[in-house]
Homo-oligomer: A and B are copies of this chain.
């Protein structure tokens, strides 16, 4: 007997039915916003990460040498792949380019609640516009997707910040600082104690006093105060963030956004507005997902400089949030009809089943040569709404029996009118 790998999951039908409902909802909202589905290789040249990505990603790669001696890796995220695609064909595509896709990614990391080694994300990205409206549309897509899942304003919040506020504000205090390191320190702010956090800022080159003043500013989330304290670049970033929030208001998603300057996002490639979605109740303590602007990535992949902004809801953490809020779909299969055969009636049973399937319904029939009781029990097990009994005796009178599985009520119906003219015949149509 073989064992599944740790951090990988089997989704049996009931779990999968619920996951499918969530993915369909998120993708449906993406389609409505004009994001277009793409599909991408699960395996890529490892250099796409080892050349540029942070050590935390590189250390978690499922990388290996293939039979042709290529250094390849299972993709740990989508962004470098879509960057490669935009470099390849971006010139021919009308801008903005709006892609979405749902697929698994892989990272060799510690398995915990809501975190697996194989994990599923719906990525949505816009390439070819640096307008604040585009950042806001990404927020609006994410907000609508969550709302459509049944979550409301009390369930989640988008903590929105701007990479250039943090970086330039730090430099306003001390021009000789290691900005990247300081931003990483801010990213760890909520996860380490005060002393360690100030220590990290000190390592990045900020004096204890400056670190304290800097932290007071970002803790207050007061954009006026930040603009006043910061240099010209800080002011430009504050203006950009405000423009995004104004556009978010026009999209109807402003109510879900709050300025949160300490939100830095771990990834190095972000360049502008960044945001993370959190459970408002705090019960799900981790970030549910995040996104932001990454204007330099396409250029760094050898393409024409192409601004970009995106978001990637992860389905494991989304599951936790929906579950906490009581809106995760039922983990159960559903069946419209079970057509039950009694005696030598397979041809007629399959005629009825076929006609119902042609109308788009989910229909099962006996595949085990079972008796009445055993078939009825199976029908119940797959949550059949209606059971149609095709029996020899009924048939000799031109009838079938129609049973409502919820109430247990049953009645006879003419064989010829099941389904006949009916699109979705039920017990109620024949009493």
Contact = CB atoms under 8 A, between A and B. Distances in A.
Residue with the greatest number of chain B CB neighbours at <10 A, chosen from A20, A66, A252, A302: A66
Given A5-B70, A94-B378, A251 B43 contact: no
Contact of A41 (B10, B47, B363): B10
A33 B250 contact: no
A67 B85 CA distance: 29
Given A13-B99, A357-B144, A363 B301 contact: no
B85 A12 contact: yes
Interface string A69-103: 01010100000100011011100011110110000
B37 A16 contact: yes
Given A11-B40, A34-B335, A118-B42, A1 B106 contact: no
Interface string A22-44: 00000011011110111111111
A10 B85 contact: yes
A362 B93 CA distance: 19
A212 interface: no
Interface residues of A, number: 95
Interface of A: 1-6, 8-13, 16-17, 19-20, 28-29, 31-34, 36-45, 47-48, 62, 64-68, 70, 72, 74, 80, 84-85, 87-89, 93-96, 98-99, 104, 106, 108, 118, 126, 128-129, 131, 133-134, 137, 144, 247, 250-252, 301-303, 333, 335, 346-347, 350, 354, 357, 360-369, 377-378, 381-382
15 contacts: A2-B47, A2-B48, A2-B84, A4-B41, A5-B72, A10-B39, A10-B88, A19-B39, A41-B118, A43-B106, A62-B66, A96-B368, A129-B368, A133-B365, A250-B347
A403 to B, nearest CB: 17
Given A84-B4, A368-B129, A368-B131, A38 B66 contact: no
Q: Taking chain A's interface residues, is the majority helix, strand, or loop, or is none over half, making it mixed? A: mixed
Q: How many copies does the complex hold?
A: 2
Contact of A13 (B37, B47, B65, B362): B37
A13 B36 contact: yes
Given A250-B350, A354-B251, A131 B367 contact: yes
Top 4 A-B residue pairs of the complex, sorted by shortest distance between their CB atoms = A64-B64, A13-B36, A1-B302, A34-B364
A350 B132 CA distance: 14
Nearest to A138: B367
